[in-house]
Amino acid sequence: MQAEKISHHGIIKAVTPETISVAIIAQSACEACHSKGLCSVAGEKEKIIEVKNTATNEHKPGEAVFVTMSPKMGVKAVLWGYFVPFFIMLATLIIAVKATDNEGFSGLLAIAVLLPYYVILYLLRRKLQTVFEFKIETI
């Protein structure tokens, strides 16, 4: 059974007529582990999510909210952030090894090909913000 929405607890940091900036705490997968105090892998990081400000929202900085998105958007994000670059890297590695017979060069080329991919994603960030739409729900 698929969840209705993906939700994260956050605190509003700033409100403008166009956007609402919400800070969420991204926790590592082992955050619930009882040994997290002894482990250097565990940790949390604050991330700022920008949500489109609609005329009906009356939010203020410091307000606790939930930032939500549909599960389909989460799948798209994982696809564009992890799977597509993996397959680009794998295809580049296979083609380069076949073409050059130099595994070291092919490995470096496979890693280097990700730079233009992520630059293109960065340049398309405004368009992607319209695709990946977040919503705010009050607690």
Range of the domain at 102: 6-138
- Count CB atoms within 10 A of the CB of residue 34: 6
Does residue 1 sit within a domain? no
- pLDDT (0 to 100) of residue 101: 95
**67 beta partners:** 8, 136
- pLDDT (0 to 100) of residue 58: 80
Helix (H) or strand (E) holding 41: none
Domain count for the chain: 1
Of 136 and 110, which is predicted with more confidence? Answer: 110
Task: Return the CATH number at 101.
Answer: 2.40.50
Residue 43 reports pLDDT greater than 90 = no
Greatest mean pLDDT range, 13-27, 57-71, 109-123: 109-123
Does residue 67 sit within a domain? yes
Concatenate the DSSP letters of all residues of 100-132 into one string. H--HHHHHHHHHHTHHHHHHHHHHTHHHHHHHS
Pick the range with the lowest mean pLDDT from 53-67, 78-92, 115-129.
53-67
CA–CA separation, 45 vs 42, rounded Å?
10
- pLDDT (0 to 100) of residue 36: 60
Contact of 106 with 93, CB cutoff 8 Å = yes
